[in-house]
Amino acid sequence: MTWSGWFNHGAPAGGFAGGPSIVSRNNTVCNIYVRGADNALWQKAFWNGAWHDWGRHNDGGVLASEPAPGSMGDNHEHVFVRGTDGNVWSKAWTGSGGWSGWFNHGAPAGGFAGGPSIVSRNNRVCNIYVRGADNALWQKAFWNGAWHDWGRHNDGGVLASEPVADTMGQEHEHVFVRGTDGSAWSKAWSLVPTVVLHLKILTAPTSFTVDQMVQAMRTVYASRGINVALGSTENLNLPLLTDLDVGGCTMGSTTTEQNQLYGNRANVGNDHVAVYFVRSTNPPSNGCAAFPAGRPSCAVSSTASSWTLGHEVGHVLGLPHVTPTDRLMTGGGTWNVTNPPPDLDGAETTTLVNSALTVNV
């Protein structure tokens, strides 16, 4: 096998602006898309073993960027552009329905520079990436059958070019940009075992903030490749529980107060963990992971250590107490560590990753 020579595909009537973009939705089709000199979308297609002539999309679309095409399957492709209103727009083709009309995806807060880049790592997911007006990477995602809102990558990255995105498999994608130092930079995404928490605050912690506890848990779990995500945070007003402790922690048995407390699961999925911050859990205990069947939950005392959240969630995910005092699951929550943080061992990591409450996102 070797490279062919160059082949001339011509151009739309009147020419085109910028460069071409292409997509092959299967191994028998290839489409070239360009922004015509008239700012319309033009297309040239290879199918049935031959190239066909340039055609104009006479649908009223006016492009303000080069097009970014992609595919979510053998009989699907879509094209994304910047519109004259500064928003991202797209249209899609399917084997059964042909071309759709244009769909408005909006834009990040403050707008964005240049045109969009898109990638579909499988037939259920599509991500739009742009260089925000603040020179950060912004993303809008399609998953679970719906488009979700724009989000900023708050990782310190400063872009000096539009992003380009691609995939190396169904559960991987990466984004490349030019950095302010003139080098090419990239970041990648892949499936990560994730514990999703929903925080329910009755009494705010006094020794550490909720954020500090979450960060401490993230530090320990991340050391074993496990992500900790926040599904929601809610202040609960339950007068009968706010100023009382919720009883002792006995696995397989729950108190009346615990049953009432753990029933407050608004927005909490069946494979997510609800965490209740309470005044006390039968002092001197720092927390309690006893919960009714089907309600994976734990309670954290207002006077708890920064490591207590990760410890109690560990119980919910199936980890027992251990004897060494440098481990997260130390019995009694008496940790003899300062820096580095308490540890999870290999067997505990396997239990966490295999838990039904650890999802891949």
Taking only the tens place, the pLDDT of each residue in 114-173 is: 999 999 999 999 999 999 999 999 999 998 899 999 999 999 999 999 999 999 998 899
Q: Report the predicted TM-score, pTM, of the whole model to 2 decimal places.
A: 0.63
Burial of 141 (0-12, 13-18, 19+ CB in 10 A): middle
Task: Kindly state whether residues 201 and 274 are assigned to the same domain.
Answer: yes
Number of domains in the chain: 2
Q: Decide: 63 and 82 in contact? Cβ < 8 Å.
A: yes
Amino acid at 34: V
Task: Give the tens place of pLDDT for each residue, 62-98.
Answer: 999 999 999 999 999 999 999 999 999 999 999 999 9
Domain with 204 in it: 193-360
Q: What average pLDDT does this structure show over 33-55? A: 98
Please give the Cα distance from 81 to 19 (Å, whole number).
13
Task: Give the tens place of pLDDT for each residue, 199-210.
Answer: 999 999 999 999
Please give the Cα distance from 88 to 327 (Å, whole number).
49
Checking if the pLDDT of 282 tops 90, the result is no
Q: Decide: 289 and 296 in contact? Cβ < 8 Å.
A: no
Domain contains 4: no
Q: Decide: 150 and 87 in contact? Cβ < 8 Å.
A: no
Q: What pLDDT, on a 0 to 100 scale, did the predictor assign at position 104?
A: 98
CATH code, domain carrying 298 = 3.40.390.10
Domain contains 2: no
**Residue 63 bridge partners (DSSP):** 83
Domain contains 163: yes
Task: Give the tens place of pLDDT for each residue, 183-234.
Answer: 999 999 988 899 999 999 999 999 999 999 999 999 999 999 999 999 999 9
Residue 323: which residues within 8 A CB-CB, separation 6 or more?
Answer: 330, 331
Q: Which one has a higher pLDDT value, 103 or 193?
A: 103
Checking if the pLDDT of 240 tops 70, the result is no
* Residue 132, token pair as written in the block: 């925000």
Task: Kindly state whether residues 54 and 110 are assigned to the same domain.
Answer: yes
Checking if the pLDDT of 283 tops 80, the result is no
Task: Kindly state whether residues 77 and 221 are assigned to the same domain.
Answer: no
Q: Which stretches of the chain are DSSP H helices?
A: 210-222, 239-242, 256-262, 308-316, 346-354
Task: Kindly state whether residues 42 and 169 are assigned to the same domain.
Answer: yes
Nearest by Cα to 230 from 199, 207, 201: 199
Running DSSP on this structure, what letter comes out for residue 320?
A: P
